[in-house]
């Protein structure tokens, strides 16, 4: 495969950030007509089919090495299944612009878990990162503390989603893999799909499912083709080629686009607390990435 030029690399990095950012209001819109577990089941399955076709077309080996299957299941459980299920449920109770800010505490969480489980040094930068991230959440929570105390479900689910992604990231980094990143992505979606459909059968029976409106079907097509399939394929191409500084671009763009697009597309309020919290979370991400290895592991 030809290596992308620097200009193409930057374009792909920007697209990843924009598409992952737009995915937050996209999911919020999808949830107006599709139940959360059903949405994830169809999304995981559609992405798995597309990624299998791409991986086979590019000649990637899909058969795991002995002992790799268990790690694939555990990593899928946290990195893709847990994160996506919890974010879908969390957005039922939280505005998308707030959900994305809470979710992007995950780089700081990963930094802490890396110290505990991967033996990385506890640098002063990590401590500062955690403090900034927590302060940002405090500012966001201050917008309506009585409502938060009355219904904390959404923010708690989003924090659990961030923790799930962080644990998955640690599991990815904790062992050497024989499968390529694209092949691992295939298995993550296949396994997550297999975990989700039984829940759909029990909790959201398809007998009660109604075909969404044409507009929602088009939004779902974007959700699968863009944030899921295209982003994972582009990130696979970029893995190992980016410095921490360039890799930061795609991560920093996502929460900014997520908040601004939610305000624009969903008519959510852009309060000063949201702006300040977003700025602080972006700052904590930047500090996290300055100490992270070049090959980032993103959801």
* Cα separation, 173 vs 78, whole angstroms: 13
Question: What 3 state SS string does 78-119 have?
Answer: HHHHHHHHHHHHHCCCCCHHHHHHHHCCHHHHHHHHHHHHCC
Higher per-residue pLDDT: 149 or 59 = 59
Structure-token match 């700052």, residue found = 283
Residue 144 has pLDDT above 80, yes or no: no
pLDDT in tens, 209-260: 999 999 999 999 999 999 999 887 887 676 556 543 445 555 677 888 888 8
Listed in order, strand segments (DSSP E) in the chain are none
What per-residue confidence (pLDDT) applies to 292? 47
Share of the chain above pLDDT 70, in %: 86
Nearest Cα residue to 197 out of 17, 15, 64, 38: 38
Show the beta-strand stretches assigned E in 94-193: none
Q: Return the pLDDT at 19.
A: 94
Contact 12, 238 (CB under 8 A): yes
Beta strands in 11-62 (DSSP E): none
* Higher pLDDT, residue 81 or 8: 81
- Higher model confidence: residue 291 or residue 238? 238
Structure tokens of 109?
């969480």
Instruction: Determine which of 56-60, 108-112, 120-124, 218-222 has the lowest per-residue pLDDT on average.
Output: 120-124
Checking if the pLDDT of 4 tops 90, the result is: no
Q: Are 225 and 263 in contact (CB under 8 A)?
A: no
The pLDDT of residue 123 is above 80: no
**pLDDT tens, residue by residue, 105-118:** 877 787 788 878 87
């Amino acid at each position: 495969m030809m290596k992308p030029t620097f200009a193409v690399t930057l374009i792909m990095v920007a697209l990843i950030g924009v598409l992952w950012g737009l995915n937050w209001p996209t999911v919020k819109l999808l949830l107006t007509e599709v139940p959360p577990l059903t949405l994830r089941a169809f999304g995981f399955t559609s992405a798995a089919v597309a990624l299998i076709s791409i991986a086979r077309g590019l000649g990637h080996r899909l058969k795991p090495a002995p002992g790799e299957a268990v790690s694939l299941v555990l990593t899928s459980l946290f990195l893709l299944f847990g994160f996506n299920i919890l974010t879908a449920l969390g957005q039922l109770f939280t505005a998308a612009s707030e959900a994305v800010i809470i979710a992007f505490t995950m780089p700081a969480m990963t930094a802490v878990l890396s110290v505990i489980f991967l033996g990385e040094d506890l640098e002063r930068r990590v401590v500062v990162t955690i403090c900034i991230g927590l302060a940002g959440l405090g500012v966001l929570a201050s917008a309506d503390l009585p409502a938060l105390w009355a219904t904390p479900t959404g923010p708690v689910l989003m924090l659990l989603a961030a923790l799930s992604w962080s644990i998955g990231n640690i599991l990815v980094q904790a062992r050497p893999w024989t499968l390529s990143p694209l092949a691992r992505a295939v298995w993550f979606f296949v396994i997550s799909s297999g975990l989700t459909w039984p829940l759909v059968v029990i909790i959201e029976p398809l007998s009660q499912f109604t075909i969404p409106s044409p507009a929602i079907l088009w939004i779902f097509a974007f959700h699968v083709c863009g944030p899921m399939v295209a982003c994972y394929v582009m990130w696979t191409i970029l893995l190992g080629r980016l410095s921490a500084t360039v890799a930061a671009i795609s991560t920093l763009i996502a929460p900014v686009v997520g908040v601004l697009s939610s305000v624009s597309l969903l008519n959510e309020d852009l309060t000063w607390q949201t702006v300040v919290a977003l700025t602080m979370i972006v700052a904590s991400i930047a500090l996290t990435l300055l100490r992270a290895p070049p090959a980032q592991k993103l959801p």
